[in-house]
Amino acid sequence: MTSQIPSSASTNDLQRFRQEALGWLVRRRDAQWSAQDEASFQTWLHSDPLHAQAYAQGETFWGELDGMPDDLRASMRSRLAQDKARLASARSVQQPTRRRFLAWPVVSGMAMAGVAGVGYMTWSHLQAQPTSVQAFRTERGQQQNVSLADGSSVRMDTATQLEVRFYRQRREVQLIEGQAVFEVQHDGRPFHVLAGLTRVTVVGTRFSVRYTPGMPGHAGVQVAVEEGRVRVAALGVAEAERGAYDLQAGDLLTAGQQISTDAQGMVASPVSAVSADGVAPWREQRVSFVDVPLAQALAEVERYRSTGLQVRDPKVAAMRLSGTFDPMAISALHKALPRVLPVRLQERNGVIEVVPSN
């Protein structure tokens, strides 16, 4: 049974135990390892439950070396070989007395510190490396369902690009552009969606995230929850680099709620109820507008396919549009606009312009 780390154990203690464990791992693979050395190792191993736990974790790390990047593995093995050579040189000058092993840490302390240090840094590197990486994108007018390595699923809207990285302690999706609905499987690790300077964190739920900074009126991020709960918080550059997040920070959203952030990741509008159209009407090939400038509405439809329409008159561009449309049915849009707004479509030189009706 694996020992549990007591709350009284400090971070420095745990790091020291891991360094010692990795030092023992290296030394036990030395051809000159003796029965007396093994006895000293067993004394250390059983002197503290945390020693046994650290050594077991170290053995796991050692078994994962083959999965490391080639350049890192080669670099580590080279440094280990150099440090083991220094260690062997230090051992050769000692007298073969009964106290030989007890004097070893004093004589070869710097060499072993190098071995354990390289091992611990590599161990830390392994923890910081993703266990799986996936990248997905949809083209203009395309939607796609994708399955992630943990059993979660993502429904991607048109012109959407994201990268998925799963680590031993967390799961991350970088929404580079577009919008998607996430259905997250619970596996004990937090699930983060990073979009611009906004972070959305969840353990198990279904929610949508939109990040289209190039679109008018959408400089920030929009989050809507269909099931479960999520936290929406500003994403700090330092915490993103470390991959360590404050899971209690930000605004808590429950099912049926939505929120928007600005380009800096700060809340741009308070938590509100999701509209009657739901968190992601685009899944049913619908885009909905409520009192939105015509220019902005047409730009949204253009994400799916060309409308073939131009708006040159600022007054027409500013007209407010409400309604639900199929972004792939452009001919229906052409028919609908003159019915809901005081405009007409005028074709000139092969271009269809939206102009005032009078």
Stronger pLDDT, 162 or 348, i.e. the higher one: 162
pLDDT at 240 exceeding the cut of 90: no
pLDDT at 62 exceeding the cut of 60: yes
Q: pLDDT band at residue 130, thresholds of 50, 70 and 90?
A: confident
pLDDT at 97 exceeding the cut of 60: no
pLDDT at 152 exceeding the cut of 70: yes
Mean pLDDT check: name the lowest of 106-110, 112-116, 143-147, 345-349. Answer: 106-110
pLDDT at 336 exceeding the cut of 50: yes
Q: pLDDT band at residue 75, thresholds of 50, 70 and 90?
A: low
- The amino acid present at 282, given as its one-letter code, is W
Q: pLDDT, tens digit, for every residue of 246-277?
A: 888 999 999 999 999 999 899 898 899 998 78
pLDDT at 106 exceeding the cut of 80: no
Q: What is the pLDDT of residue 81?
A: 55
Contact 53, 5 (CB under 8 A): yes
Instruction: Give the global pTM.
Output: 0.64
Of 257, 303, 294, residue with least CA distance to 278: 257
pLDDT at 2 exceeding the cut of 60: no
Task: Kindly report the backbone phi and psi dihedral angles of residue 352, in degrees, each rounded to the nearest multiple of 5, phi listed first.
Answer: -100, 115
Q: Quick one: average pLDDT of 83-103?
A: 46
